[in-house]
Amino acid sequence: MEFLLPLRASLATLPGLGARLSGLMAKLVGGESVRDVLFHLPVEYVDRRATPSLAQAQPGQVATLRVEIVSHEPPGRKGQPWRVVMGDGTGFGEIVLFHAARLSQFPVGAKLIVAGKLERFQDRLVMAHPDQVTHQFREAEFPWIEPVWPLAAGITPRTMRRAVLGALEMLPEFPEWHDPSILARRGWPGFGAALRALHAPAEVPGKAPRERLAYDELLARQIAFALVRARRRRESGRVLAGDNRLRAAALAKFGFPPTAGQLQALREIDADMAAPHRMRRLLQGDVGSGKTLVALLACLGAVEAGAQAALMAPTEILAKQHFATFKRLSPVPVALLTGSVKAAARRAILQDLADGTLKIIIGTHAIFQKSVEFHDLGLAVIDEQHRFGVDQRLALGAKGEAADLLVMTATPIPRTLLLTHWAEMDVSRITEKPKGRAPITTTMHRLSELPKLRDAIARAIGAGGRVYWVCPLVSESEALDITATEIRFAELQSVFGAAVAMAHGQMPAEQRDAALADFAAGRKTILVATTVIEVGVDVPEANVMVIEHAERFGLAQLHQLRGRVGRGAAKSFCLLLHDNKIGQTARKRLSILRDTEDGFLISDEDFRLRGAGEYLGTRQSGLPGYLLADPEENGDLLTMARQDAVMTLQRDPRLESERGQALRILLNLFDQREAIETVKAG
């Protein structure tokens, strides 16, 4: 868009930025354009408007003085500072300089504005190394309100200020894309005025300019989601409606009726599959909520309608776990395709998939390789979807003509993230656990209590239990001072002997899988592991979870780990081992986990305390971080932006009105390219 070309210009076009500094600036602001500098907002402000006379000035005060330089006094001996005597007609003071090179800033007779912190030395008022020095005839250039930007090595405050002021001069005159009533109600300035108020303030800015810019970004994102979602709803799909005969057979083998949450999720999935558009649905359920059963019934629904179904898991362990459940309950044959499947068996599976004999396939990324062809893929299910890249998900969906897509996650996603990062998908939530799941007793312990815990572990094993022992790292780290998995394994082995197994991500896959298999079969009763056991390990007999240095984990991950126990009839325990001295925030986080098993409450609290990174996992296309908004802090603005986007597109679906044209500029400004293409395509 030509209107925005000045903001798309290279950083090198800004004053003071050559080739070297442009590279450093790009790393700092996260981009290579003028816009990126403007979106790098200050974090605080230094107010230099206090201008006492020397007679009024007080020690300890940060002040701005209008003075005349009287004389220079050289140091009396080596190591002492230069002293620059200043006066203003009401008294005298001194500027202290430990670097003689700065003397040139203070020529005798010059009338200057100097700012810094005042102190009293003996009977004199002194200012050591002033922060700001300006000639009085250039008072208009003095930074009375000084923004403090986040900086990096090589980028000084002066460099940042010059670049930002240069960028502000390149700002075009933007049309207003907000309804006047919103601006009046919230007291928001225009877009350009908001940037100027934050980067070149005449006074310490209130919350209105920052709120305005945050809302701009949230609205751009919500309009983009709504446009893309509407386009995807228009994508032609296929009607998949079964007769429930296969599902009834599976539920008969299962032996328990589905929970209300499972039935509601299944109704929503069925409605999507029976509609003529492609399903794109996120199935969100807490640990142990029964998502696998819902996935099986969805797959059987596709088979009843004459199509095939595929389930992709991120690890072979998890794929095998799903396969075991599907094979036990499914009335139609199910195959497992992973990297370890032998060539002959693989050829047979591929042949059966291609001719339609095989109706349901479960596997890892192996099932979206080019060599895998489906006769008629109608439903693709992806588990723990945040562990796959967007390209991998699309590759599986592309295996079938207009295949429906169901993605699942066991991490309860905060409402804020649902609105910001998954808003282009429909969401089903399973909020309760199946009947019969006993509560897990969670307790907190200092690492110094380890000897007592070993005795408790011995009693649990003696009563027929099995124990997970989770360590954060695989090898010793001096920087983090965390006990290594190998060290803990050796220590426990010295106490419990051959009953101890070990599994971590750096082991060969065969050894790791063998250790997990030994633990599941009861040949080993203690499994020392890293977070490789977070998903896909289902051992009902395991009833004790020990997590070392629990304060180092996120709450959501701790909740996932705790979900590995409590799957059988025996009473289950989760022991959170923490450093002997932990901070208030860490203690509060662990207390939340101790006091509740509600994964949704935990996820909201974890998001508030730690931010979005843990939920997004590996950075994915389509899931960028925010530049100006904090979706959690600006929760009210997020809700408002979503409503605004929906109402705007109902009235003006192609953004052709005067406001719609301005909103197109907003979408371009925030790089919502897919939404822009959607608008152009109509």
- Residue burial 603-640, b: 16+ Cβ < 10 Å; e: rest: bbbbbeeeebebbeeeebeebeeebbbbbbebeebbeb
pLDDT exceeds 80 at position 611: no
pLDDT score, position 430: 86
- Residue burial 42-77, b: 16+ Cβ < 10 Å; e: rest: beebbebeeeeebeebeeeeebbbbbebeebeeeee
Q: What tokens appear for 342 in the block?
A: 């032998």
What residue ranges do the domains of the chain occupy? 2-45+146-199, 47-144, 214-235+636-681, 245-430, 440-596
More confident residue, 411 or 485: 485
Place of tokens 């934050």: 198
Which of 26, 34, 175, 41 lies closest to 630, judged by CA?
A: 41
End-to-end Cα distance, the chain: 18
Report pLDDT digits (tens) over 188-227: 999 999 999 999 998 999 999 999 999 999 999 889 888 8
Report pLDDT digits (tens) over 546-589: 999 998 887 877 888 888 888 777 889 999 999 888 888 788 88
pLDDT score, position 339: 82
Q: Which long-range contacts (CB under 8 A, 24 or more apart) does 68-71 make?
A: 68/109, 68/110, 68/111, 68/112, 69/106, 69/107, 69/108, 69/109, 69/110, 69/112, 70/108, 71/108
Q: Average pLDDT of the chain?
A: 85
pLDDT band at 93 (very low <50, low <70, confident <90, very high): very high
Q: What's the rounded mean pLDDT across residues 237-256? A: 91
| Element spanning 363, H or E | strand 360-363
Neighbours of 537 (CB within 10 A): 20
What is the Cα Rg of the chain in Å? 32
pLDDT band at 622 (very low <50, low <70, confident <90, very high): very low
pLDDT score, position 635: 74
The CA distance from 318 to 536, in Å, is 4
Q: Which long-range contacts (CB under 8 A, 24 or more apart) does 432-436 make?
A: 432/259, 432/260, 432/261, 432/289, 433/259, 433/286, 433/288, 433/289, 433/290, 434/256, 434/259, 434/288, 434/289, 434/290, 435/256, 435/259
Report pLDDT digits (tens) over 651-674: 998 899 999 999 999 999 998 877
DSSP code string of 81-113: PEEEEEE-SS-EEEEEES-GGGGGGS-TT-EEE
pLDDT exceeds 60 at position 481: no
Answer whether 279's CB lies under 8 Å from 404's CB: yes
pLDDT exceeds 80 at position 633: no
More confident residue, 484 or 226: 226
Report pLDDT digits (tens) over 409-430: 776 666 556 655 555 578 888 8
Q: Taking the domain 47-144, which CATH number applies?
A: 2.40.50.140
Answer whether 350's CB lies under 8 Å from 371's CB: yes
Report pLDDT digits (tens) over 432-444: 766 666 788 999 9
pLDDT score, position 402: 74
Separate counts of helices (H) and strands (E) for the chain: 24, 21
CB under 8 Å to 414, separation ≥6 — which residues? 600, 603, 604, 606, 607, 615, 632
For residue 528, give the 3-state DSSP assignment: strand
pLDDT score, position 389: 45
Which of 192, 156, 176 lies closest to 35, judged by CA?
A: 192
CB under 8 Å to 318, separation ≥6 — which residues? 383, 384, 535, 536
Answer whether 654's CB lies under 8 Å from 675's CB: no
- Among 6-10, 457-461, 539-543, the least confident range: 539-543
- Hey, what CATH topology would domain 245-430 get? Rossmann fold (3.40.50)
Q: Is 204 left (phi over 0), alpha (psi -120 to 50) or beta?
A: beta
Neighbours of 173 (CB within 10 A): 8
pLDDT exceeds 60 at position 475: no
Which of 454, 441, 448, 446 lies closest to 577, judged by CA?
A: 446
pLDDT band at 393 (very low <50, low <70, confident <90, very high): very low
Q: What tokens appear for 119 in the block?
A: 């102190």
pLDDT band at 62 (very low <50, low <70, confident <90, very high): confident
pLDDT exceeds 60 at position 483: no
Report pLDDT digits (tens) over 254-305: 988 898 999 999 999 999 999 888 888 888 887 678 889 999 999 999 999 9
Which of 385, 444, 377 lies closest to 593, judged by CA?
A: 444
Q: What tokens appear for 90 in the block?
A: 């009401």
Top CATH class, 440-596: alpha beta
pLDDT exceeds 70 at position 388: no
The CA distance from 535 to 12, in Å, is 48
